[in-house]
Amino acid sequence: RLSPRRRRRRGPAAEGSSPRDGGSMRCQVSVLYFARSAELAGLRCETLSVPREITSLQLWEEIVKVHPRLALIRDQVVFAVRQEYVLLGDQLLVLQPGDEVAIIPPISGG
């Protein structure tokens, strides 16, 4: 078990850098693409392995690593996790296996 030392961690984890570390800390999520995001990604849905604890912006960056063309719509996209809208930023998400992440570009009206 963990010892009760105060300064147990040193290095990047102690500096708050990376929820991305550790393969066991990842989970599979369903990513759904709509409208322009589906065109740019070339598909409508897929399963990706992402860190369980990740900010919304880091999650977006993980998706863009897989589909770089999505970077074109970054400033226009609506992002939803478990059917709740999320702003791209430093909001921490705690994901569970099977969670849905939706990429919804704005729909222009006429």
Q: What is the CATH number of the domain that holds 64?
A: 3.10.20.30
- Whether the predicted pLDDT of 18 surpasses 60: no
- Total number of domains in the chain: 1
Is 97 a domain residue? yes
Is 4 a domain residue? no
- Paired strand residues for 93: 54
CB under 8 Å to 51, separation ≥6 — which residues? 19, 20, 25, 26, 58, 62, 95
Q: How many CA atoms lie within 13 A of 35 on its CB side?
A: 11
- Whether the predicted pLDDT of 63 surpasses 80: yes
Is 110 a domain residue? no
Residues 39-44 have a mean pLDDT of 96
Domain containing residue 84: 26-104
Amino acid making up residue 45? C
Q: What is the pLDDT of residue 78?
A: 85
